[in-house]
Structure 1
Amino acid sequence: MGSPQGSTLTTNMAGLVDGSTARKEVSHIDCLPVYVKELIAGGAAGAFAKTTVAPLERIKILLQTRTNGFQSLGVYQSLRKLLKHEGVIGFYKGNGASVIRIIPYAALHFMTYEQYRGWILDNYSFFGSGPVIDLLAGSASGGTAVLCTYPLDLARTKLAYQVVDTRTNFRSGIRGLYPQPAYSGITNVLTTVYKEGGIRGLYRGVGPTLAGILPYAGLKFYVYEVLKTHVPEEHQKSIVMHLSCGALAGLLGQTFTYPLDVVRRQMQVESLQPSTIQGNTRYRNTWEGLTTIVRNQGWRQLFAGLSINYIKIVPSVAVGFTAYDMMKVWLHIPPRMKSQAISSG
């Protein structure tokens, strides 16, 4: 009973000494558990990084889903065409859903990764404590985060798939060739899809998503931890080292799992696509999606937009790490203990 009073007295005295209430505000932040601070920092960094690369993400989706008028264009030409038809705001269509999704996704991904990792270490000691643990924990946490946030990813894809010609021909009073959008926003997408297909509709394409995220998340953590073990001790705390290892891990993971991401995107927008694109067929599962795309669209379509992923993943990782470090300072997150670093590596 005396301890809280003593803490309050100490806080008030500190406020009187420096002549401000800043110390009082700091105390509220410091009362948060460390893992909560890390979740907040990770979510904020993820949202900022997503917004930074949103134009490239939009173009990637248009190329993956073979949107009318974008099938044979490159990245630069696609950006110009999108700017011409929709203006700057077109670069960020669907980004609201992406940001809303990435905040809980990043939080869940981080939290469950730590939980799964600790659980595996406690119950399956024969795995050791090396990068294999990160592979397993990363895969499980990626799957958990996807299942919890998938409807928002579906909404983001459907919104990004729509191309609206905002130019109006005032002389003829006729708008462009692109049709009116089917959805007006995130809520409209979710309610419409739910009315049409229920929960199954909201999780359309989750099969290839899980098939892609399980190896991707696992490989990302695995490669990252393996690379860190080859970095000299004096460079372990270098931001450049973290950026380089993270970017390389992301690039390798994306390359191996990207075709599954293409199948996922096409399954998500099947109801919006003209029948001429997919031969009037619906993919019943991931394997059928892969084989049908190769047969009807060519194997190159499985890697449509991959160059954009290569272009955007490096700045995304860089922005994410920088924002995360800034948030850690602002939230007064203490540095990780060496024992944690050793056990995770």
Structure 2
Amino acid sequence: MPKPSQGEPPLFNGALDCFQQTIKREGFFALYKGMAVPAIISTPRFAIFFGGCAVARWLQQKKPDQELSFIQTFNTGALAGIFTTIVTIPGERIKCILQIQSMASDSATATVKYNGPKDLFAKLYKEGGIRSIYRGAPATLIRDIPACGTYLSVYELLKKKFAGENEERRTLSPFATLAAGGFAGIARWSICIPADVIKSRLQTAPEGKYPGGMRDVIREILQHEGPPGFFRGFGPVLLRAFPANAASFLGLELTLSLFRQVQI
């Protein structure tokens, strides 16, 4: 949200206030701003991630049925996370700009500069080329490499814990799969929210605001907000993390189960 002028209150007093004011000022569907872009990139992003995991496992295994250690599984997710940035960076840049473009601290009137993802993409490319489309790439990599490594390794660890003595982990119940995926999502975002804050501010800032890149963003946050500024939005992110990632891994396991049945 915009930095308030001296003596003025902030635009939102927390997540609940933001939720209520957004509906009051812009209507319920304003909560879904920028939804088209995540919907479009979701399938290729997860396909690239899990495909990258398969490649990373193959690179580390000495034999096809070798079980990876926790560190090797972390490395698997980290490498796959690098691959996903091909679609993640431009997708999140467009999504974030669309979500905040009508935010105004002094008026309920929305000022719309971009008429949807296609118009925004074209204007960003015209203004700065492919470099503008991929603004925030280093910050995204710093976020996604450890985050995706944690994501996959925690998920596989919890799967083993929930399976107990049952070595045939394919029989893990849907509820256990949902729990493992949900807690893996929480673990992922618990470690990467500061990098995500830096990335989002870089991607939504006006051209030329941060000539020094991440260093300028970090300096500004520390100067005006202190260390807590790196954890802006932490609560809403965790509320989203559990159901979103639980559903993702349940979908993965159900799909793999269907493939196994077809092969049999």
Please indicate the TM-score interval, normalised by the length of the shorter structure: 0.7 to 0.9
- The answer as to whether partners of 2:150 and 2:184 remain within 8 angstroms in 1 is yes
* 1:259-312 residue CA offsets vs partner (Å, 9 max, x unmatched): 00000000011118xxxxxxx941523344223211222221110101001111
> 2:255, 2:102 → 1: CA distance?
35
- The answer as to whether partners of 2:93 and 2:203 remain within 8 angstroms in 1 is yes
- The answer as to whether partners of 1:135 and 1:218 remain within 8 angstroms in 2 is yes
Q: In structure 1, what is the equivalent of residue 51 of structure 2?
A: 111
> 2:249, 2:75 → 1: CA distance?
23
Aligned length: 253
- The answer as to whether partners of 1:260 and 1:286 remain within 8 angstroms in 2 is no
> 2:67, 2:114 → 1: CA distance?
50
Q: Describe how 1:325-340 pairs up with structure 2 within 5 A.
A: 332-334=258-260
Partner SS state of residue 73, structure 1: coil
> Does structure 1 residue 154 correspond to structure 2 residue 93?
yes
Larger radius of gyration between Structure 1 and Structure 2:
1
Give the CA RMSD over aligned residues. 3.1
Q: In structure 1, what is the equivalent of residue 83 of structure 2?
A: 144
Corresponding letter in the other structure for 1:320: S
Q: In structure 2, what is the equivalent of residue 304 of structure 1?
A: 232
- The answer as to whether partners of 2:52 and 2:80 remain within 8 angstroms in 1 is yes
Q: Structure 1 residues 218 and 154, CA, compared in 2 at 3 Å: closer, same or farther?
A: same
- The answer as to whether partners of 1:85 and 1:164 remain within 8 angstroms in 2 is no
- The answer as to whether partners of 2:103 and 2:110 remain within 8 angstroms in 1 is yes
> 1:128, 1:239 → 2: CA distance?
22
* 1:145-199 residue CA offsets vs partner (Å, 9 max, x unmatched): 112342122111110112369xxxxxxxxxx544421111111111111111111
> Does structure 1 residue 295 correspond to structure 2 residue 223?
yes
Structure 1 ranges of 4+ moved more than 4 A? 65-71, 321-329
Q: Structure 1 residues 66 and 217, CA, compared in 2 at 3 Å: closer, same or farther?
A: farther
> Does structure 1 residue 212 correspond to structure 2 residue 134?
no
Corresponding letter in the other structure for 1:115: V
Corresponding letter in the other structure for 2:260: P
* 1:47-106 residue CA offsets vs partner (Å, 9 max, x unmatched): xxxxxxxxxxxxxxxx5x769986442222211111112212211110001111212111
Q: In structure 2, what is the equivalent of residue 91 of structure 1?
A: 31
* 1:240-270 residue CA offsets vs partner (Å, 9 max, x unmatched): 2222222222212211111000000000111
Q: Structure 1 residues 71 and 303, CA, compared in 2 at 3 Å: closer, same or farther?
A: farther
- The answer as to whether partners of 2:178 and 2:247 remain within 8 angstroms in 1 is no
- The answer as to whether partners of 1:104 and 1:149 remain within 8 angstroms in 2 is no
Normalising by the residue count of structure 2, what TM-score does the alignment of the two structures yield?
0.83
Q: Structure 1 residues 197 and 130, CA, compared in 2 at 3 Å: closer, same or farther?
A: same
> Does structure 1 residue 82 correspond to structure 2 residue 22?
yes
Structure showing greater relative contact order (alpha-carbon pairs closer than 8 Å, 6 or more residues apart)? 1
Corresponding letter in the other structure for 1:150: I
- The answer as to whether partners of 2:181 and 2:249 remain within 8 angstroms in 1 is no
Q: Percent identity?
A: 22
Q: In structure 2, what is the equivalent of residue 180 of structure 1?
A: 111
- The answer as to whether partners of 1:283 and 1:289 remain within 8 angstroms in 2 is no
Q: Structure 1 residues 321 and 249, CA, compared in 2 at 3 Å: closer, same or farther?
A: closer
Which deviates the most, 247-256 or 284-293? 284-293
- The answer as to whether partners of 1:131 and 1:226 remain within 8 angstroms in 2 is yes
> Does structure 1 residue 241 correspond to structure 2 residue 156?
no
Q: Structure 1 residues 70 and 106, CA, compared in 2 at 3 Å: closer, same or farther?
A: farther
> 1:180, 1:335 → 2: CA distance?
53
> 1:336, 1:242 → 2: CA distance?
21
> Does structure 1 residue 259 correspond to structure 2 residue 219?
no
> 2:247, 2:156 → 1: CA distance?
20
- The answer as to whether partners of 1:258 and 1:306 remain within 8 angstroms in 2 is yes
